[in-house]
Amino acid sequence: MHATAAEPQQDVGFLPALPDGMDHRVRVLAAEDNAVYRTLLRAMLTKWGYDVVMAHDGTEAWQILQSPDAPRLAILDWMMPGLDGVEICRRVRSAGREPYIYILLLTSRTESQDLVAGMDAGADDYLLKTTKPPELRVRLRAGRRIIDLQEKLVRAREALREQATHDSLTGLLNRASILEHLQDELARAGRQDQPLCLLMVDLDHFKSVNDTYGHLAGDAVLREAARRMKAAVRRYDAIGRYGGEEFLIVLSGCEREDARARAERIRAAVAAEPFAVGAQSIQVTTSIGVACCAVSARLAPDALVRNADLAVYQAKSLGRNYVAGAGCAPQDPAVGL
Ligand code: GH3
Ligand code: MG
Ligand code: MG
Ligand code: MG
């Protein structure tokens, strides 16, 4: 990439013209204020199979790097008008954003302490402008490997988080997560003087589903019940599997009348049509307990869960396929608040 008057048309195809982005094209930002280098960079990178995003100065480069779909690889000229390459490195790193952006600084400086300063600012690598194109090409490949590894790491971390917080059978939040959510939402409701209601949903006679159709059919019923319930709640209501065939639904900012209506909708959604499991058609119903924490009431999560549990018990005793609990049937024994 050494572009001087003597060799303005340096052969950029020194390595075979096989694109480096064989599996997927990789976008790379090339920021360079010198028109000759810019043309050269674009030609090389395009030939190597990269999708090139060019910036003419540091300010433009920084703007591009701030966008949500910024290239993951950046080649930055050290000396540019506006922001220089080192300052851009510093800003990118202090923003601490993900996904990681791999930065290669391009410099005509040779003083070692300058290079140390560049690396200190967060550059991953640097190259002198006198370096031959094949070296830039392999250094970029090294950068791509880092980016690919980091992407795998992020995916693995997300999969682990999903596993740790969700129930593997139904895909709903697991017991620990729904209880943690309840605790957080109760605290928030207290701070903001908002009501909060909790639904506990228990499948009726579920043991007999297992006994009649087998455990695998029982699992399929749990999955379908979870799907129907999730479809019946709002996107910002949290739903989790509390135990075997018991579920909790946290309704933030919800008054008791509203919670009862919501519970009724969930009950109807499950009972509406029999579940098709293999060749079987299985009728499933639920008993739902409603517990409310009114504005200004200070209830601990345990107390709310206990009230919802008592309300489920009441719904069972009233014949199942039923909604019971706080404010639902004033003549009933005081359940909930
Ligand atoms: P009730 O109407 O009083 O709630 O009766 P029930 O049969 O639903 O309640 P019970 O507590 O007697 O039985 C719950 C059953 O749920 C027993 C247990 O084997 C089953 N169960 C718990 N977890 C799972 C699971 O992950 N898969 C399957 N297939 N069954 C499960
Ligand atoms: Mg420059
Ligand atoms: Mg139960
Ligand atoms: Mg049950």
pLDDT in tens, 112-162: 677 888 889 999 999 998 899 999 999 999 999 999 999 999 999 999 999
Q: Which atom of ligand 1 is nearest to the CA of 207?
A: 7
Q: How do strand 286-293 and strand 102-107 relate by DSSP bridges?
A: unpaired
In the reported structure, the alpha carbon of residue 31 is separated from the centroid of ligand 1 by a whole-number distance in angstroms of: 63
CA gap 102, 118 in Å, rounded: 13
Q: Which residues on adjacent β-strands are paired with residue 275? A: 282
pLDDT tens digits, 183-228: 999 999 999 999 999 999 999 999 999 999 999 999 999 999 999 9
pLDDT tens, the chain, 337 aa long: 544 433 334 444 344 444 454 456 899 999 999 999 999 999 999 999 999 999 999 999 999 999 999 999 999 999 999 899 999 999 999 998 888 999 999 988 666 677 888 889 999 999 998 899 999 999 999 999 999 999 999 999 999 999 999 999 999 999 999 999 999 999 999 999 999 999 999 999 999 999 999 999 999 999 999 999 999 999 889 999 999 999 999 999 999 999 999 999 999 999 999 999 999 999 999 999 999 988 777 789 999 999 999 999 999 999 999 999 964 443 344 343 3
Which tokens in the block code for residue 72?
A: 């993951």
Contact yes or no for 316/206 (Cβ under 8 A)? no
pLDDT at 259: 95
Nearest protein Cα to ligand 1, atom 14: 207
In the reported structure, the alpha carbon of residue 206 is separated from the centroid of ligand 3 by a whole-number distance in angstroms of: 8
CA gap 137, 14 in Å, rounded: 10
Kindly report, as residue ranges, where domains of CATH 3.30.70.270 are found in the chain.
175-335
Contact yes or no for 3/40 (Cβ under 8 A)? yes
Is the CB of 282 inside a 6 Å radius of any atom of ligand 1?
Answer: no
The model's pTM is: 0.74
Whether 245 is a known active-site residue: answer yes
| Active-site pick, 162, 245, 255, 264 | 245
Which tokens in the block code for residue 47?
A: 């030939």
**CATH 3.40.50.720 describes domain 175-335:** no
Is the CB of 215 inside a 6 Å radius of any atom of ligand 1?
Answer: yes
CA gap 287, 267 in Å, rounded: 7
In the reported structure, the alpha carbon of residue 78 is separated from the centroid of ligand 2 by a whole-number distance in angstroms of: 6
pLDDT at 211: 97
Question: Quick one: what percent of the chain has pLDDT higher than 70?
Answer: 88
Q: Which of 167, 170, 204, 207 to mutate to test the pocket of ligand 1 (most atoms within 8 A of CB)?
A: 207
Assign domain 7-163 one CATH number from 3.90.950.20, 3.40.47.10, 3.30.930.10, 3.40.50.2300: 3.40.50.2300
Kindly report, as residue ranges, where domains of CATH 3.40.50.2300 are found in the chain.
7-163
Q: Which residues, 6+ apart, have CB-to-CB distance to 226 below 8 Å?
A: 170, 171, 172, 239, 241, 247
